[in-house]
């Protein structure tokens, strides 16, 4: 089993990868190097996007200025993190033997065994430990989000009469089928979050049990009305009331369809 096979077993790739295919010969001519074969397969499988809302995979295709391979301090950058760390290669010798280099935003530089796919698989499964990158939270099931324009909404809710576990079950039943993305709760059970995604529509949700009690969701713009109808129906079945609709940053919106840009 290849490193990419192991990664696919750990993290389902998107059905329609973004900026995943193009003219590799033109890219390599522009960069002046031959790129590792496992990276090419990684790009064609996952495309431009992020693992676990933290580790960003870049591709050499598309038109976004945020998605490209670039030289930095003598390294060739193929990825990044939410904290602005860079994932790179030291491009000496055979491309299949280029070590993966993690370059911290301010300080810190580490080298790992060759293989971009192997490094990503090792990080999401906890097999690879880094002094620069944080470990993935142990209770989270790793996931991948393709980079597409998304809308974000947050529904602040009243508590309602039902216990949290029952409200969560109802929410996921309405949105079924869903896939786990992990959860956590405080020792006393008073605080916590559940993360999951819808399998068919690719909506990403977090249900916060308190402080505040809310549902956070992101979805493709074309699903604006469908997402509203499903979530408001779920809230009614949960026995709760929508107190406020906000952006992901917590800014109040007059209604679900308001422009949040």
Residue with token string 């896939």: 179
Of residues 25, 36, 18, 35, the one with CA closest to residue 118: 36
pLDDT reported for residue 206? 94
- For the segment 225-239, the average pLDDT, to the nearest whole number, is 97
- pLDDT digits 0-9 by tens, 211-222: 889 999 999 999
pLDDT (0 to 100) of residue 182: 81
Q: Are 83 and 51 in contact (CB under 8 A)?
A: no
Q: Is the pLDDT of residue 135 over 90?
A: no
Q: Per mean pLDDT, which range of 33-37, 117-121, 135-139, 238-242 is the poorest?
A: 135-139
Query: Other C-beta atoms within 10 Å of 176: how many?
Result: 10
pLDDT reported for residue 207 = 96
pLDDT digits (tens, 9 = 90+) for 171-199: 999 999 998 888 887 877 778 899 999 98
**Model confidence at 11, in pLDDT bands (50, 70, 90)?**
very high
For position 261, what pLDDT does the model report?
62
Question: What pLDDT, on a 0 to 100 scale, did the predictor assign at position 108?
Answer: 84
Distance (Å, whole) CA 87 – CA 77: 6
Q: According to the model, what pLDDT value does residue 191 have?
A: 82
**pLDDT tens digits for 59-93?**
999 999 989 999 998 999 999 998 899 999 999 99
In total, the chain counts a number of residues equal to: 261
Whether pTM > 0.85 for this model: the answer is no
Helix intervals (H) in the chain:
3-10, 24-31, 37-46, 116-125, 164-175, 224-238
Please tell me the predicted confidence (pLDDT) of residue 91.
Answer: 97
**Mean model confidence pLDDT for the chain:** 93
């Amino acid at each position: 089993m290849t490193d990419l096979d192991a990664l696919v077993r750990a993290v389902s790739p998107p059905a329609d990868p973004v900026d995943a295919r193009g003219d590799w010969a033109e890219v390599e001519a522009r960069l002046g190097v031959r790129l590792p074969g496992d990276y090419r397969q990684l790009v064609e499988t996952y495309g431009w996007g992020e693992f676990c809302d933290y580790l960003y995979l870049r591709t050499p295709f598309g038109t976004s200025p945020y998605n490209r391979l670039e030289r930095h301090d003598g390294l060739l950058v193929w990825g990044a993190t939410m904290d602005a760390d860079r994932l790179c290669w030291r491009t000496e010798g055979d491309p299949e033997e280029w070590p993966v280099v993690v370059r911290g935003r301010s300080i810190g530089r580490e080298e790992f065994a060759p293989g971009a796919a192997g490094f990503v698989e090792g990080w999401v499964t906890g097999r690879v430990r880094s002094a620069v990158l944080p470990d993935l939270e142990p209770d989270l099931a790793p996931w991948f989000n393709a980079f597409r324009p998304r809308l974000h909404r947050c529904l602040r809710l009243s508590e309602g009469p039902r216990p949290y576990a029952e409200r969560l079950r109802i929410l996921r039943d309405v949105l079924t089928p869903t896939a786990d993305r992990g959860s956590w709760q405080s020792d006393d059970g008073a605080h916590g979050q559940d993360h999951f995604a819808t399998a068919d529509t690719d909506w990403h949700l977090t249900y916060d049990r308190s402080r505040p009690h809310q549902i956070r969701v992101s979805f493709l713009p074309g699903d604006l009305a469908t997402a509203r109808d499903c979530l408001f129906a779920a809230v009614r079945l949960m026995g709760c009331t929508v107190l406020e609709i906000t952006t992901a940053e917590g800014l109040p919106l007059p209604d679900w369809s308001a422009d949040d840009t």
